[in-house]
Chain A
Amino acid sequence: MIEIKNVSKYFGGKRALDAVSLALPQGQIVGLFGENGAGKTTLIKCILGYLRFSGEITLDGAPISRKNIARLSFATSEHSFFPNLDATAHKEFYEQHFPQFSEKRFRGLMEFFELPKHKALRHFSTGQKNQFEVILSLCQGADYILMDEPFAGNDVFNREDFYKVLLGILEPSETVLLSTHLLEEVENFIGRAILIRRGKIVGDVSMLELEDSGKCLMDYVKETYHYKADRVSKALSELTDEQ
């Protein structure tokens, strides 16, 4: 289990995370939602140790370090592959550094998405790059797969395929933390939704709870964010009056 206890992060004087506490048990697919700048990426980067923070983040009780970092993988819309290498060279690099790397899953996903094996990644389309980024994170053999807007730039069919494949291939012990804006798209795919706003966790709900209460994820988000449904019509009428 990843436990995040009282984690705060400041950039200069600006607070990016404010005493965030969370637990991510194994075997969940968790959606992390929030506006731009809410702190989603910062939280993920803190978990991975890319950013210094105050508070504590542990993996099965131990701080996340080089000893257990292989249990976490990361897919980011910024991409973390080597643009000048091809897919096969990436596979070899991962196999060398992550002994749990699943060659079988890699082969299967590469074939499913029809990605070229001997073409440098820099020549891939944005969609293909995203797919490859996610493939690497899924094949590393990690227990916790952290994804930060992994599908930015992919078309809707592509994304839907991915959700289906994900659901099909994930082992019960694998956890996915998926940071995205695509609320409605991932609604049927995740088991838990975490809402973050201005660096604070403002909502944490299981999809079963939501289902029991008869709400959809979008309703829950709007409710939690105190979304004013009439704000668009008000703004439009004010603008029209002015004109």
Chain B
Amino acid sequence: MNHKKKLVHYAPPGVNLGQELGWFASGIGASLLYSLGFLFRYSREYQLLFLWDGTAKVLNTSAVMPNFVQVLGGSLDTFLVLALSMAAVAIYHYSYHYQGSKSIYLMRRLPDRWELPRRCLTLPLMGVLACLCVALLLLLIYYAVYMAFTPRACLAPYQWQKIWSVILGVGI
């Protein structure tokens, strides 16, 4: 509640902050659920590393687990979409000052020139930051899962470097 009171000073005066935070939380929740697709894909690939010898499950040492980035696929893309949608929130915050009145006149004649940009941009920027942080955290967790559970014999080398090569768009 206290945090919400503080956040009010970083949003356009009178904007429905609770609703905005609710939408954002829903977006994060939905992205989180979508990202769980990684675990299903990983589990499927993991099963393919084994052969059935009668009733016993035996590791196929010649099998190679697909690279982490391939298994991850687009699991974290929704966070990117959510981060990009923060641009629309910033536009909404600015246009809010034209809704029902022209409070933009007041905002534009405040002695503090940063008040308008602060109230339009702070929350969207915090949203982008939150998306990036959650996506990074999930990336690390999923990477840890991948490395911890994949049998060494089936693991292709340079997994971490391959992540960076995808992020930076360069080959290794």
Contacts and interface: CB of A to CB of B under 8 A. Distances in A.
A83 B105 contact: no
Contact of A50 (B13, B108, B111, B115): B108
Contacts of B12: 82
B14 A74 contact: no
A164 interface: no
Nearest to B102: A78
Contacts of A67: 111
Contacts of B108: 48-50
B65 to A, nearest CB: 55
A48 B102 CA distance: 14
A72 B12 CA distance: 22
- Interface residues of B, dominant DSSP: loop
B110 A82 contact: no
Contacts of B110: 66, 69, 97
Contacts of B16: 84
A84 B103 CA distance: 11
Interface residues of B, number: 20
B53 interface: no
A66 B99 CA distance: 25
B102 to A, nearest CB: 4
Contacts of B105: 48, 50, 74, 76, 78, 80
B152 to A, nearest CB: 60
Given A79-B102, A80-B106, A82-B101, A97 B15 contact: no
Interface string B69-106: 00000000000000000000000000000011111111
Interface of A: 48-50, 66-67, 69-70, 72, 74, 76, 78-85, 89, 93, 97-98, 120-122
Interface of B: 12-16, 99-106, 108-113, 115
